[in-house]
């Protein structure tokens, strides 16, 4: 029997002020509602324009249960289409990316479509004469997604009609994307190389929460990053320059006091970031020539303002994290209540010294990869939590750290860096967007 599908009130009851019920992580019915409602009601990242440099270039993406195509049209515009032939429903492409030339061709009956989705041709079309085909939805071609917004080359979509505009949904949080792009002397990013792509045996929201959880690094990573730091301190040659790798992983052993002072900024709609006053990225060595390039492009004052902003992790609700100072983006793609695909992408700052991209790649490999010094620790914690939540001892997960009664979720505020308020912020957004979509589109409608 369904407990939540026809009952928005029961779903809302899963989220309290300082607790969430375990069903938000383990229940397949809740997961199904997330796929149908949360990911349709929110603006979701589907790719970057640098992945589509030529007309006909395309990417496959999935939002909720919906297979999509992101494609560069002949006039240079970007279109996002449902990956479904309007004839028999066949997926147009199963490749993750490629170039389709001037049109898509369905592999089943060869209906073809321009790269803006419009129907181009039908084989043996005379068979449709006098059938009224011109009145059928099929002649409209590949259906476009209702809402598409390209923000400084980052492509977002929202499947549902209505709801919040792109600007209202993201608001001031777009400043983290701006800062990452502005770190390029030419004001431009390009994705280079394939992402690290790996499966986690846990619910996708555990990874999102982890991005602003600053009370775990010195504990969960002590045996790995802590050991690496100890080895460096024991073996280093006196006066030797600290290697780039040590600069990258040693801040994970920072004290509670450091993370408290770092600060967290929360924004409405579930967005937020760690690293307000400082961050684990603030003490990297200067790259020769970079400041001079930035000064030439922006002037010294603005260049310093851009580079002094060292935000740690910015969560864009529902499922991406951007790390501006090292130009990475992670996407947490839900596959099941207990299975998540992670993609970890790296960007090159156009016009900047190669050493910065070297640091980006090193960070991705040393910190984000499941075989890295840091990432495997997190994976173990996620999978332990996924397993532990099935115990019947207590059905609630606690998010109470530094809670203050009367907290608002529709404001921008800077708070203590070890607060769990951003997690509470995310769950408030979670229940709000699912609930509003369910109420507009009840089950069976």
| Strands, E assignment, 179-308 | 189-191, 196-200, 264-266, 272-274
pLDDT at 1: 65
C-beta pairs of 318-322 under 8 Å, 24+ apart in sequence: 318/38, 318/39, 318/42, 318/44, 318/208, 318/270, 318/426, 318/429, 318/430, 318/433, 319/44, 319/45, 319/204, 319/208, 320/45, 321/208, 321/211, 322/176, 322/177, 322/180
| Residue position matching structure tokens 């790269």 | 115
Work out whether the CA dihedral 155, 161, 164, 165 comes out positive or negative.
Answer: positive
The answer to whether residues 191 and 51 touch, using CB atoms and an 8 Å cutoff, is yes
With 70 as the cut, is the pLDDT of residue 309 above it?
A: yes
Percent above pLDDT 90 for the chain? 88
Q: How many CA atoms lie within 13 A of 379 on its CB side?
A: 18
| Whole-angstrom distance, CA of residue 181 vs CA of residue 189 | 6
**Residue 113, beta-bridge partner list:** 104, 119
pLDDT at 2: 83
Report which secondary-structure segment, H or E, holds 234: helix 227-235
| Whole-angstrom distance, CA of residue 50 vs CA of residue 428 | 34
pLDDT at 444: 53
Peptide bond into 355 cis (omega under 30): no
| Whole-angstrom distance, CA of residue 377 vs CA of residue 385 | 13
Kindly report the CA angle at 210 between 208 and 213, in degrees rounded to 5?
130
With 70 as the cut, is the pLDDT of residue 442 above it?
A: no
pLDDT at 445: 54
| Strands, E assignment, 295-365 | 314-316, 320-323, 328-336, 339-349
Tens digits of residue pLDDT in 258-289: 999 999 999 999 999 999 999 999 999 999 99
With 70 as the cut, is the pLDDT of residue 293 above it?
A: yes
| Whole-angstrom distance, CA of residue 84 vs CA of residue 80 | 12
Instruction: Give me 317's structure tokens.
Output: 């609700």
Counting every residue written for the chain, the total comes to 445
With 90 as the cut, is the pLDDT of residue 229 above it?
A: no
Q: How many CA atoms lie within 13 A of 89 on its CB side?
A: 1
What is the overall mean pLDDT for the chain? 95
Instruction: Give me 33's structure tokens.
Output: 């509602």
Q: What's the 3-state SS for 108-122?
A: CCCCEEECCCCEEEC
Least confident stretch, 80-84, 98-102, 147-151, 216-220: 216-220
The answer to whether residues 297 and 307 touch, using CB atoms and an 8 Å cutoff, is no
Q: Is 273 exposed, middle or buried (0-12, 13-18, 19+ CB in 10 A)?
A: buried
Nearest Cα to 15, choosing from 429, 444, 405, 440?
A: 429
| Whole-angstrom distance, CA of residue 75 vs CA of residue 73 | 5
Q: Give the SS3 label for residue 303.
A: helix
The answer to whether residues 262 and 275 touch, using CB atoms and an 8 Å cutoff, is yes
Tens digits of residue pLDDT in 381-437: 999 999 999 999 899 999 999 999 999 999 999 999 999 999 999 999 999 999 989
| Whole-angstrom distance, CA of residue 335 vs CA of residue 35 | 9
Tens digits of residue pLDDT in 177-202: 999 999 999 999 999 999 999 999 99
Least confident stretch, 24-38, 114-128, 243-257, 322-336: 243-257
Residues with Cβ within 8 Å of residue 191, at least 6 apart in sequence: 48, 50, 51, 345, 346, 347, 348
Tens digits of residue pLDDT in 51-103: 999 999 999 999 999 999 999 999 999 999 999 999 999 999 999 999 999 99
Instruction: Give me 90's structure tokens.
Output: 């066949």
Can you state the angle between helices 300-307 and 290-298, rounded to 10 degrees? 120
Confidence of residue 235 (pLDDT cuts 50, 70, 90): confident
pTM above 0.85, yes or no: yes
Of 16 and 2, which is predicted with more confidence? 16
């Amino acid at each position: 029997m369904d407990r939540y599908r026809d009952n928005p009130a029961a779903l809302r009851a899963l989220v309290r002020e300082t607790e969430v019920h375990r069903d938000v992580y383990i229940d397949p019915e809740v997961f199904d509602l997330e796929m149908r409602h949360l990911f349709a009601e929110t603006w979701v990242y589907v790719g970057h324009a640098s992945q589509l440099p030529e007309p006909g270039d395309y990417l496959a993406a999935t939002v909720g249960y919906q297979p999509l195509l992101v494609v560069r049209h002949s006039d240079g515009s970007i279109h996002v289409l449902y990956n479904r032939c309007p004839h028999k429903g066949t997926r147009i492409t199963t490749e993750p990316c490629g170039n389709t030339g001037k049109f898509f061709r369905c592999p089943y009956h060869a209906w073809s479509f321009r790269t803006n989705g419009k129907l181009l041709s039908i084989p043996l079309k005379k068979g449709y004469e006098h059938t009224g085909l011109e009145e059928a939805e099929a002649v409209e071609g590949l259906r476009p997604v209702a809402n598409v917004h390209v923000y400084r080359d980052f492509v977002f979509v929202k499947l549902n009609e209505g709801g919040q505009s792109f600007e209202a949904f993201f608001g001031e949080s777009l400043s983290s994307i701006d800062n990452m792009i502005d770190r390029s002397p030419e004001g431009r990013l390009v994705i280079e190389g394939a992402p690290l792509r790996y499966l986690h045996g846990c619910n996708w929201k555990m990874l999102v929460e982890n991005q602003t959880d600053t009370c775990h690094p010195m504990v969960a990573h002590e045996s790995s990053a802590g050991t690496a730091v100890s080895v460096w301190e024991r073996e280093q040659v006196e006066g030797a320059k600290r290697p780039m790798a040590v600069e990258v992983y040693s801040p994970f052993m920072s004290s509670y006091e450091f993370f408290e002072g770092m600060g967290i900024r929360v924004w409405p709609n579930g967005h937020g970031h760690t690293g307000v006053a400082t961050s684990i990225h603030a003490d990297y060595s200067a790259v020769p020539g970079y400041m001079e390039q930035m000064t030439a492009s922006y002037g010294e004052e603005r260049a310093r303002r851009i580079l002094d902003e060292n935000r740690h992790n910015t969560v864009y609700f529902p499922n991406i994290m951007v790390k501006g100072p090292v130009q990475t983006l992670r996407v947490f793609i839900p596959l099941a209540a207990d299975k998540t695909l992670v993609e970890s992408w790296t960007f090159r700052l156009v016009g900047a010294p190669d050493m910065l991209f070297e640091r980006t790649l090193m960070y991705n490999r040393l910190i984000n990869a499941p075989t890295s010094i840091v990432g495997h620790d997190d994976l173990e914690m996620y999978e332990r939590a996924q397993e532990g939540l099935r115990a019947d001892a207590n059905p609630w997960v606690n998010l109470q750290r530094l809670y203050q009664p009367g907290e608002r979720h529709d404001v921008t505020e800077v708070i203590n860096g070890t607060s769990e308020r951003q997690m509470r912020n995310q769950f408030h957004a979670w229940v709000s967007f699912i609930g509003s979509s369910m109420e507009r589109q009840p089950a069976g409608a």
